[in-house]
Structure 1
Amino acid sequence: MRVSLASPLMLPIVSFAAAILLGGILLAHPVSEGSTEVSLLDGLFTATSAVCVTGLAVVDTGTAFSPVGHGVLLSLIQAGGLGIMTFASLAFYLWRHRVSLTDRIAVGQTLLHDQGFHLGRFLVALFAGVFGIEALGALALHLADPQGFPVFGAVFHSISAFCNAGFGLYSDSLMQWRGDWAVNGIVMLLIILGGLGFSTLTELAMVLPRRLRHRHMTLQPRLSFHTRLVLRASAWLIVGGWVAILFMEVMTDIRIGHLETDDFLLAALFQSVTCRTAGFNTVDIASLSSITLLFMMFLMFVGGSPGSTAGGIKTTTFRVILGFIGSQLRRREQTVVGNRAVDADTLNRAIILTIFSVLAVLAAIMALCITEAGGTDRMVRERFLDLAFEAVSAFGTVGLSTGVTPTLSAPGKVVIMLLMFTGRLGPIVFLSVMQSWQRSPRYRWADERCMIG
């Protein structure tokens, strides 16, 4: 069965690929160059990282690009965060006051996983809400540090934080503010809001004011199961990640560069939040202990929530997998999450997504071990953790790095680009495309038992 390039399944792939190609050409153009020349490959890598809101950079963002280049980069981040099709659908809606069924289904699958919503009203509310949050974030950053965050710098970092991109205009990311609770708090809040998902933010904006107005009533408006699941899983991962990083750094006597207690607590919390696909860092990632890096890889692999600017397998997938394991241990036929049973289709998608994600990351790590060998196997062994961290960071569209990114070979950059592209769209999109090429068999095979374990 053939799949048209304009079909709902292919639109995300085609749109993101086109944006990356155009962005790469613009970033490699002399008008976008700053103090150094940017090759076409580095331009494409940066464009991929921006559109996929990852933050991995092979050049210094602050100096390698001119103000024009920074504007192009910011546009790619914003477009990638919200989705290329969302921009196209909104423009078409405002122009004709109607959107094609193809765009409606595509945006519904990408953002809300619901094909029955009113796209026009949703997009207007979405853009108003997103631009409002980013504007407030930029204002807060500028007021917190006018010298460090001038107007454009505040806008750039606010959009980059909300879109979970992790691109910064400073070579050390946000390390110079690692003890500033105001700046850290603003950036962390933007990261968390961007990683919750558009449907969750929309529901919170509708339900919370009604709950405040009717707080004296016995029956108050309730959040949906999806939103409650997202909020609980996100809270547990942030707090659990914070405690785990603190414990691991203390046990290994690293203490993140032997910071003071207050700075140490704040740095650990910020790293726990930013691991959820943001990419900013307030400490040198390479200075962290090996066990901390391994745990951060787990946080990056899980990522944010469905329909958000974040990557990874998503919080809901991780929670469903945990529910499945718990149900198997209790000999339950149903997979129970909270006080609800998850349907079989959702469980199958969660398992398939996790398996495909693990295989994609493992394949990328093996490819990097080949491309970055440097002529000796010993060099690969010494850099294995760094390469694995780089691969997970790319797939989770996080952008954290131990310093490997600028040293990647040309084939290594291509591997990371493909991994970022896959991680941003999600393996489920590519799996759905492959499944659409197949015809469902009209017969069943005979069942047979085999030994397992």
Structure 2
Amino acid sequence: MRQKFLSPFWLPVYAFGLVILAGALLLRLEPSLNGVSLSFVDALFTATSAVCVTGLAVVDTPSTFSTLGRTVLVSLIQLGGLGIMTYSSLIFFLLRRRVSLTDKTAVGQVLLHDPSFDLGRFLLHMIIFTLCIELAGAAALMVLLPHDMPFFYAVFHSISAFCNAGFALFSDSLMRWHNNAGVNVVFMLLIILGGLGFSVLEECLLRLRGEIKSLSRHTRIVLRTSFWLIFGGAACLLLTELHSGGSADIFTRTLHALFQSVTARTAGFNTVDIGSMANVSLLIMLFLMFVGGSPGSCAGGIKTTTLRALGAFVTAQLMGRRQVVLRGRALDDATMNKALTLFIFAVLTVAGATLALSITESSGGALAKDKGMFLELLFEAISAFATVGLSTGLTADLTPAGKLIITFLMFVGRIGPIWLLTALQRFQNEPKYRWPETQLPIG
């Protein structure tokens, strides 16, 4: 039993948990605050939101935290974005210490779902990619907004965008630049790059340098799916908001729709008031948030590859095919089992959390102000589970119990349902027998 608790599958859970607890304690220190008090629940919520790169906030970040507190916050975001085990393995590699096969396997399954890669080379490239992209993003923001984005602010927002965290040092997030195309493009590029996955970024760079002749099937699927989700989501959001009326010109509306389509893929920044958007727009964003980014990235959600696998499964059922075919190749049973398990687990987790929030917030909480806010609570739950960070405005009004529910959702969403299920299944023993099979009328 002790060996099972110390298995590499549980190490990310312990690492994230310890960093979150340490972050909560640091955020409560007097030097980290701007002369205000912060309860432990709010500090724990904020630290979890930072480490899990979500962006949901129960307090106003710029007015609550001092420079030290903001530094702690951006450090937690960077640690969470890259993953605690990644940092640990990189330290072992740089110190020329031996990383065990089990640790290498665990890190490989987190980042690439492939335990056979070169750990040291991959980690070095990952850190270089991250630093270069974040520094380039910070430099672009300093050039575009020389008065509003000094060095620390630019670095903070660049890290927050690339890690898909969504924390901002402005109370209105990015709404003051809702019609600034340059600022919107910089943030969108950082968010997209952070949501593609490190393996995809590395492969694209190798392809541009001519070191490989073609992109892998995984990378092509990720890029195609991301493209259609971004622009398809933007088109749907634009149409719904045009139908809802308003005085903004078509260029500004298009920019708003494109940015919200990108940020809904687990980034959490907003250039418009989410609470004022039409219900149809919120439903579209719910879908985008639930899907999220790609495997091995800073993003959450069920991932783009899961969406494609589920789509191929439905297509196979409709066409009467026994094999699930995706881009000329059949997916094996293990892959489909993981995709279906992840989808079912995600749906049940979000549904259970929404039900729990409906109970905790129905007396003296967010629901006490306005009955029938099911869509807002569902939006909050999916935003937390998919580590997005967007909110219709309920987060600060949640009860302590509601905040703990959202905290749990962010933690599970960042660790990953499949990873958590795998860790729990290691406590189970495979039975040595098989049950007799039968048929059951379905539908």
* Shift in alpha-carbon separation, 1:279–1:3, aligned structure 2, 3 A: farther
Give, in angstroms, the shift of residue 6 of structure 1: 3.3
Q: Is the 8 A contact 2:142 2:150 kept in 1?
A: yes
Does residue 195 of structure 1 match 2:195?
yes
Q: What percent identity do the matched residue pairs reach? A: 55
Give, in angstroms, the shift of residue 103 of structure 1: 2.3
Which contiguous aligned blocks of 4+ residues in structure 1 show a shift greater than 6 angstroms?
A: none
* Shift in alpha-carbon separation, 1:238–1:3, aligned structure 2, 3 A: farther
Match of 1:169 in 2: 169
Give, in angstroms, the shift of residue 101 of structure 1: 2.3
For 1:277 and 1:400, locate their aligned partners in 2 and report how far apart those are by CA, in whole Å. Answer: 8
For 1:109 and 1:346, locate their aligned partners in 2 and report how far apart those are by CA, in whole Å. Answer: 14
Match of 2:334 in 1: 345
Query: Is the partner of 1:96 in helix, strand or coil?
Result: coil
Q: Is the 8 A contact 1:320 1:350 kept in 2?
A: yes
Match of 2:82 in 1: 82
Does residue 446 of structure 1 match 2:436?
yes
From 228, 238, 247, the counterpart of 1:236: 228
Give, in angstroms, the shift of residue 88 of structure 1: 1.0
Matches within 5 A, 1:51-66: 51-66=51-66
From 270, 275, 298, the counterpart of 1:309: 298
For 1:19 and 1:378, locate their aligned partners in 2 and report how far apart those are by CA, in whole Å. Answer: 34
Range with bigger deviation, 199-208 or 346-355: 199-208
Supply the AA of the counterpart residue of 2:313: F
Q: Is the 8 A contact 2:4 2:426 kept in 1?
A: no
Match of 1:24 in 2: 24
Q: Is the 8 A contact 1:300 1:398 kept in 2?
A: yes
Match of 2:268 in 1: 279
Query: Is the partner of 1:349 in helix, strand or coil?
Result: helix
For 2:408 and 2:186, locate their aligned partners in 1 and report how far apart those are by CA, in whole Å. Answer: 32
Query: Is the partner of 1:333 in helix, strand or coil?
Result: coil
Does residue 124 of structure 1 match 2:113?
no
Match of 1:354 in 2: 343
From 261, 267, 282, the counterpart of 2:256: 267
Match of 1:215 in 2: none
Matches within 5 A, 1:122-161: 122-161=122-161
Q: Is the 8 A contact 1:3 1:10 kept in 2?
A: no
Q: CA-to-partner distance for each residue in 1:300-324, whole Å, 9 max, x for gaps? A: 0000000000000000001100010
Does residue 333 of structure 1 match 2:322?
yes
Q: Is the 8 A contact 2:361 2:368 kept in 1?
A: no
For 1:349 and 1:327, locate their aligned partners in 2 and report how far apart those are by CA, in whole Å. Answer: 17
Matches within 5 A, 1:216-227: 221-227=213-219
Supply the AA of the counterpart residue of 1:438: Q
Aligned CA RMSD, in angstroms, stands at 1.5
Q: How many residues are paired up?
A: 442
Q: Is the 8 A contact 1:317 1:350 kept in 2?
A: yes
Q: Is the 8 A contact 1:199 1:307 kept in 2?
A: yes
Give, in angstroms, the shift of residue 102 of structure 1: 3.0
Q: Is the 8 A contact 1:9 1:429 kept in 2?
A: yes
Matches within 5 A, 1:251-262: 251-253=243-245, 255=246, 258-262=247-251
Q: Is the 8 A contact 1:373 1:380 kept in 2?
A: no
Q: Is the 8 A contact 1:144 1:182 kept in 2?
A: yes
Match of 1:217 in 2: none
Gaps of 5+ in 2: none
For 2:370 and 2:290, locate their aligned partners in 1 and report how far apart those are by CA, in whole Å. Answer: 22
Matches within 5 A, 1:297-446: 297-374=286-363, 381-446=371-436
Q: Is the 8 A contact 1:142 1:150 kept in 2?
A: yes
